[in-house]
Structure 1
Amino acid sequence: MTDVLILGGTGWLSGRIAQRGLDAGARVTCLARGERRPPDGAELVRADRAAPEAYTALAGRDWDHVIDVSSQASHVIEAVEALGDRAGRWTYVSSMSVYADDETIGADESAPRHPPARRGDEYEYGAQKVAAEDAVATLGERALIVRPGLIVGDGDPSDRFGYWAAAFLRAGDGPVLLPPIEGRTVQVIDVDDLAAYVATAAPGAPVNAIGDVHPLGNVLDAVRDAAGHTGPVVVAPDDWLVAQGVAHWMGERSLPLWLPPEMTGFMTRANAAFRTAGGTIRPVADTITRVVADESARGVDRPRRAGLTRADERKLLAALDAPDPLDG
């Protein structure tokens, strides 16, 4: 029986990876703080990865496969130091945020990365992931670095892709505010496709784990159709949204999937290596169907980590429709 250690295993992605291992007949151990439960059948080892004794409970055990998803470089570095010589292979889930170039369309895994974070640096996600990659790379031919882009699917705690399902569902026959869509693209990876790849892919060169590039307008149209929205859509200009304090991409009072116009490469990266290595990419329509059902079940007006409240959206729509006092 294959022994798999997941450093995590209780989160949204890592829990799905753990379930993949269990479904394949592996013996799965999850090391986590224990605030959430791993999938049924997985062993939970409670530990705080920031603590010096984090890996003491794993002493003397060997692993066929270690999988880590941490975004704290120190956690990854210390895990490699403690467990690296006892792992048959090691997969690290990094991010395409490691890349320093967000403008080149179709960039592949050879694109330049940010400088790695150093101890004592102010936290910066991309730099932390770079430093973590460098630690895992010391394992040589036993290592695989997976760089997903925007991960989407049911249960997504970031609320980014799901925001659009909620926005169209809650509006009914009312208007929905959109960012500029002309010439904009979206590129996502379904959480279950990513989990399947991470659980089974062989070691090798770093891989961009991401789906195909789609026009943003087409994807939002598909979400709108799946949600049954019958009202109008209103597209606001980039400069106007920025002036109104609406944030790009994520976070409070944002329009998810909207990026600054100069970030032409952020959602147009190459995925040929992922496909060649056996990665599968399901139709975006399948993911949208699941996300719309999930958002409906969880509640479209619940507090969210990304997007606009309906009240705020209405205020912006009213302001956009109001005549400019400087005109005429």
Structure 2
Amino acid sequence: MRILVLGGTAFLSAEIVRSAVAAGHDVTCLARGSAAVPPPGASWLRADRSLGANAYADAEGEWDAVVDVARDPVAATEALEALAGRAAHWTFVSSCSVYADASVPGADEATPLLPALPAGTPSTADTYGESKAAIEEATLQAAGGKVHLCRAGLIGGPGDSSDRYGYWPARFARDSRPVLVPAIDTSPTQVIDVRDLAAWILRAAEKGVTGPLNAVGGQVPFGTFIAAFRDAADHRGRVIPAAEAWLARQGVNYWAGPDSLPLWLPPGHDGFMARSNSAALNAGLQLRPWQETLAGTLMDERTRGLDRPRKAGLSPGTEARLAKKLPRSL
């Protein structure tokens, strides 16, 4: 297949390129390359999508598959205008954040979506779901029945810089001091390995899979994850559970960002990491055991540095201060 990846230099898009090259496909990346270059074996069209439609001028000819991971509806629409007519299959990597309701466990692709971000409205972190919904709408309008809307969940595994999953194995491996965790042992977590997601996107393009499909991992209770993280890192210190209300009063953030506790969700999000993946599994999505994702992530975290600055998780100082207030052992 002749495949064009819009991106191809960071985390998921780079993994898609690696998978496609390994499978023997003719892969081209359209990317700036300002932070990283495409993986070996792929051709590189050096272009800046923020400059508008001219960015696609050198993406000539017909494409068996195009993969876009865009967050900005403007850039996504320009790509569609330039390329959709010459693509046999189009994958847009969307997100389960497009769903309007995150409260119901087991919800599937029929769940209503957020309203699409209105044209002319800036796409920001706060409008992420609406932006993805707008791109889904534009993609369906431009590419119709050849579109795979890949609604990804939380992505983990080697190479992730978001720290929304890797914080935990890295934290247990960093030192033996007490680890503060939210007291949510039975709450579900749902993480898809980046390698599985990339393989699925490629397989779906090869098979001509279309329609919206939730690309999410299996559900694992938070307490099971924590115990496995601790064992994998051989952590011998205390684990200190804290009530959710107490954490919120201390100013600890949910989910992501500075001084947060990853995998801890705000009220009303009982279904956010408990969505149905049955349709994608039936269409060919394959998931490795979650223990393999854990092991690969821990190895990657050790390589990149357990003490590196992080986008999510508690800082050592904040954790130590809070842990002194909750001296109970799990």
Contact in 1 for aligned 2:185/2:224 (Cα 8 Å): no
Question: What residue identity is the alignment partner of 2:191?
Answer: V
- Which whole-Å CA distance do the structure 2 matches of 1:50 and 1:309 have between them? 34
SS in structure 1 opposite 2:324? helix
- Which whole-Å CA distance do the structure 2 matches of 1:284 and 1:160 have between them? 15
Question: What residue identity is the alignment partner of 1:120?
Answer: G
Structure 1, 150-159 or 289-298: larger mean CA deviation: 289-298
Question: What residue identity is the alignment partner of 2:298?
Answer: V
Check if 1:68 corresponds to 2:68: yes
- Which whole-Å CA distance do the structure 2 matches of 1:284 and 1:34 have between them? 32
Report the counterpart of residue 111 of structure 1 in structure 2. Answer: 111
The 5 Å alignment of 1:1-328 reads: 2-35=1-34, 36-52=36-52, 53-58=54-59, 60-122=60-122, 123=124, 124-138=127-141, 139-172=143-176, 174-201=177-204, 202-321=208-327
- Which whole-Å CA distance do the structure 2 matches of 1:128 and 1:184 have between them? 28
- Which whole-Å CA distance do the structure 2 matches of 1:37 and 1:82 have between them? 23
- Which whole-Å CA distance do the structure 2 matches of 1:120 and 1:243 have between them? 38
What is the CA RMSD across the aligned residues, in angstroms?
1.3
In the TM superposition, what is the alpha-carbon distance from 1:321 to its structure 2 partner? 4.1
In the TM superposition, what is the alpha-carbon distance from 1:199 to its structure 2 partner? 1.1
Q: Tell me the number of residue pairs that the alignment of Structure 1 and Structure 2 aligns.
A: 319
Question: What residue identity is the alignment partner of 2:12?
Answer: L
- Which whole-Å CA distance do the structure 2 matches of 1:166 and 1:313 have between them? 14
**TM-score of the pair, normalised by structure 2:** 0.94
- Which whole-Å CA distance do the structure 2 matches of 1:285 and 1:235 have between them? 23
Contact in 2 for aligned 1:91/1:203 (Cα 8 Å): no
- Which whole-Å CA distance do the structure 2 matches of 1:82 and 1:19 have between them? 25
Runs of 5+ consecutive residues of structure 1 not aligned to the other structure: 323-328
SS in structure 1 opposite 2:240? strand
Question: What residue identity is the alignment partner of 1:289?
Answer: A
- Which whole-Å CA distance do the structure 2 matches of 1:141 and 1:207 have between them? 14
**TM-score of the pair, normalised by structure 1:** 0.94
SS in structure 2 opposite 1:50? helix
Cα deviation 1:9-29 (Å, max 9, x = unaligned): 111110110111111111111
- Which whole-Å CA distance do the structure 2 matches of 1:311 and 1:298 have between them? 21
Contact in 1 for aligned 2:256/2:312 (Cα 8 Å): yes
In the TM superposition, what is the alpha-carbon distance from 1:194 to its structure 2 partner? 0.1
Contact in 1 for aligned 2:171/2:306 (Cα 8 Å): yes
SS in structure 2 opposite 1:189? strand
- Which whole-Å CA distance do the structure 2 matches of 1:215 and 1:229 have between them? 20
Cα deviation 1:252-301 (Å, max 9, x = unaligned): 11000001242111011000011101100111111111111111222211
Structure 1, 147-156 or 119-128: larger mean CA deviation: 119-128
